[in-house]
Chain A
Amino acid sequence: MVDAAFLGMIFPLIFLILMLKGENRLLMAFFAWGLVAFMVSMTLNNWLAAGFQITFRQLTVTWAPLIEEFLKSLPLLYFLLRSRSTRYSVIYFAMASGIGFSILENFSYLLNLMESVGSLAFYMVIRSLTTCLMHGMASAIVGYGISFIRQYRIMVFPLLFGLFTLSVTIHSLFNLYINSEILLVRLIAMVIPFILYILGLMLLEGEGLEDGGTAL
């Protein structure tokens, strides 16, 4: 079912991407990549769970964050090679990939719960305000690192890997909390994306982190 939803979204998006020009096209391409990244990571996660008898907790807390953050951030490496500067900050492209990923993930959860009685609107609102924002912000962390590298041309690999490990750790922490049986812990999980969002705003406020040239 999810594959059908994916196809139903990706083809119209391809038409749009082909029609757009410049950075608008690139931004939509990153959004579309988010959808592709979800399909690939879902396949890998399922394969890992089936092939290596990994428990649900191990999968959600350890493997899924590693795979998902890696795949979402992968196209951002393009900005390390691109010599021209971009009008939009790399963070926006990173967030587009993360948000694209989380939208399809929302669909997959929705399709799994199709049999359930009653409206799922509230459930979707909660997921969108928490998990979607978390996916967007976790990718934005890596995007921030790449903007920084492009602007100052410093600490290329330490920042890249360091911020990748940070985004994976935060994602794992979120998954650990959101799957907890304790309500208070689940509530804390819901707050984590907002804290990240506020920290991100704090960091970017007045900084004018515009994109510079290539880093490599």
Chain B
Amino acid sequence: MGAEQSQETIIRQERDILQIALIICLLWGAIYVLGSVLFLQDRGRLIFLGEIIQLMAGAFFAILLIQIYRKWKGTNALLGTSLALFSWTAGQLFWFSYTLLSHTELPYPSVGDLGYTGTYILLIGVIGLLSGKKPRTAPDYLPLLLVFLPLALYLLGQRALPVLLYNIVDGITIAWTLFSLMPLRRSPRFRRFIQGVILLAATDVLFLFSALLIPEMAALISAPLYPLAIALIAMGIVSGEQVEHG
């Protein structure tokens, strides 16, 4: 009885931490948007600050999920999500470090983008686990094409070949992630997780488009959204897995 109670207390503590972190991310997003409007001329500093916060959020949630995974044991989706967030943080750290150390723009595509793409690939695995799909089930590719086609048509012929190829790979990975979410869409258990993945994908697509249309604003537009998306993913997976575990 005592052990059960202490286990429940631990779970509640972790949930509280995640909820507080989610609220902080939400507040940060609101403050950042307000700051962007008021201090637009100081864009460089705002972007720098945004990058640091994104980095901290990624590392914080990835480490927190690893800790929860260690305590709960056997929740593979939790480990997969943590690894996905680690991949995202590594990509972010690479991007941030490269621009800071070499004082130049990071070439696109780069190894940093590999980290971002790895996030989606790992999330596809996690979603597969959550939806209880059999690994050998043949997917229906039609909805995937419908999601990706407008993006591919827009990007086609706009940039150099490596950029075009990477955009296609990235677009497919994002679309595939959203596509694999479909069996989960009516599950209230993973509502927050789904919201987080959709927000992450939407922010990436927004970044991709704004990088093409208004490159100087791309990082500023996406900066308040990434921490929120990551917080929702972390909160969502813990809430969903808690039902099974608790």
Contacts and interface: CB of A to CB of B under 8 A. Distances in A.
A159 B80 contact: yes
Contacts of B117: 165
Counting chain B CB atoms within 10 Å of each CB, the highest count among A155, A161, A169, A199 belongs to A169
Contact of A166 (B66, B70, B118, B135): B118
A97 B192 CA distance: 41
Given A62-B110, A155-B80, A166 B98 contact: no
A176 B73 CA distance: 35
Interface string B96-120: 0110011000000011101101110
Contacts of B93: 173
Interface in B94-149: 94, 97-98, 101-102, 110-112, 114-115, 117-119, 121-126, 128-129, 135
A172 B91 CA distance: 10
Contacts of A176: 94, 97-98, 101
A193 B121 CA distance: 24
A162 B121 CA distance: 6
A205 B69 CA distance: 12
Interface string A147-178: 01000111111110111111011101100110
Nearest to A185: B101
* Residue of A65, A155, A159 contacting most chain B CB atoms (<10 Å): A155
Interface in B37-77: 66, 70, 73, 76
A182 B73 CA distance: 41
B122 A162 contact: yes
B223 interface: no
A181 B91 CA distance: 22
A93 to B, nearest CB: 20
A173 B115 CA distance: 11
Interface in A112-158: 148, 152-158
Contact of B118 (A154, A162, A182): A162
B22 interface: no
Interface residues of A, number: 35
Contact of B124 (A62, A65, A66, A158): A158
A66 to B, nearest CB: 8
A176 B106 CA distance: 12
B102 A57 contact: yes
Given A185-B101, A203-B70, 17 more contacts: A61-B98, A154-B125, A155-B129, A158-B122, A158-B124, A161-B121, A163-B83, A166-B86, A166-B87, A168-B111, A170-B90, A173-B93, A173-B111, A177-B97, A185-B97, A202-B70, A203-B66
> Across chains A and B, which 4 residue pairs bring their CB atoms closest together, nearest first?
A158-B125, A165-B118, A155-B125, A162-B122
Interface of B: 66, 70, 73, 76, 79-80, 83-84, 86-87, 90-91, 93-94, 97-98, 101-102, 110-112, 114-115, 117-119, 121-126, 128-129, 135
5 contacts: A154-B129, A158-B128, A159-B125, A162-B87, A165-B87
